[in-house]
Amino acid sequence: MAQEQLHLFVKTPAVPLPAPDPPQSIPVPGARSGRSDPVSSVLAAEEFAKSGNLAKHQAIVLAGIQKTPGGTGAEIAEAVPELTELQTLRRLSELADAGLIRRGELRCCRIKGRRCISWWPMEAEGRE
């Protein structure tokens, strides 16, 4: 029979602690976070969506795309000074997934000087 390990300062056998519950994924509809992101990132994405800022940023970026149809991410970001370039770029795939914009062809970006994806509002489909 195995001998129980004694606690360092107590002469009675140590009580085994229950195993911790496995980490659970938190479903966050509409929020963007990666599968491997820590729970704190998932919670931040959820709060960002709940606060209304996600929808506000998406509307700003959509307006920027309508001002610059066929623009690259950097060009669209330039058209929306209310947001940083990174904030703008993060909203592009969300808007595409929602069917509000579409990815176009690669073209040379006038800001980056390299080939980048162009972005189009759905109603401008025939203009590329």
What is the pLDDT at residue 10?
57
pLDDT digit string (tens) for the chain, length 128 residues? 556 665 556 555 555 555 555 444 333 235 566 778 889 988 888 898 899 999 999 999 999 999 999 999 999 999 999 999 999 999 999 999 989 999 999 999 999 999 999 999 997 444 44
Q: Give dist(CA 34, CA 26) in Å, integer.
A: 12
Q: Is the dihedral of CA 37, 41, 89, 125 positive or negative?
A: positive
What is the pLDDT at residue 6?
59
Helix (H) or strand (E) holding 117: strand 115-121
What is the pLDDT at residue 128?
47
Q: Give dist(CA 2, CA 45) in Å, integer.
A: 49
What is the pLDDT at residue 9?
61
Question: CB within 8 A of 33, min separation 6: which ones?
Answer: 41, 42, 44, 45
52-55-61-64 Cα dihedral, nearest 10 degrees: -90
Residues in the chain: 128
Q: Give dist(CA 107, CA 120) in Å, integer.
A: 13
Domain residue ranges of the chain, discontinuous segments joined by +: 39-127
DSSP string, 75-87: HHHHH-TTS-HHH
CATH class of 39-127: mainly alpha
